[in-house]
Structure 1
């Protein structure tokens, strides 16, 4: 696995090599030994799968508050998505900056989003599927989110937003005091 840093501390892109022959292909999606430095003592405790049908649909920008904050390791198993991490760690030199990477099954990429960063994605191909590995259990009382279209964030989605859940529509816009975020 090749591990690359991004401009946001803790946000990484991990690329796995696929081994192909006449039967098909094999690819290691996760290895705690190879990812030990990335995980930093954390353990994967939950795996989730999402399928999003419509091109242009956006899911996000989601995070969990402490003490339930989580690192996410995200892979695309089918289709193609524009995956975004947003730094919400007050005091971070990249506070309110975002970084995006295109994920697809063919690319072999996994996006690592640490605690204190929001995560979201836009579907670039129909019926795209993601696998999420989490280092904390889902805690509904700790979930949070910011608007995908918040002008202070300036996320550059590659396509017009075609579909958005009511929950994601209702995330608050950030204010100058950022009082809603306690990461």
Structure 2
């Protein structure tokens, strides 16, 4: 017996608010970097370099997170659809990902719980994952976590609740 399709609507309100926060972080990061550049000179003892580095890190993180929030904030309709054919998370990709290619689990990622997953080839290469998710995926892989995140932002449900819905179609990996 096949499970009934699961459709999770996009709820963009929090993403819109967070978008403002991440854009402010980009601005603060640029101010730090500009301040460091102004201080940079022959008598500088390393503080300017730290300001520049901090500013660039804040700016990069803000750009990625603003990109993710922007995608969620402007999405109309369903955010996630789960059917017997696969998973479609329109905040991640416009392509349906077959269950056989997904290895997922609910895990604590250092800040909170998240549904994270890897995709097997050739699905991974053909999935056309959006750039913010690919950037976050690089960071996840550095931490030896599954590459992609099934974001709870814009769904109104927790990672554990999302995992329960995923289990209707595919078992979690260990």
Normalising by structure 2, we get a TM-score of 0.25
Return the structure number with greater helix share: 2
Return the structure number with greater strand share: 1
Normalising by structure 1, we get a TM-score of 0.24
RCO higher in structure (CA 8 A, sep ≥6) = 1
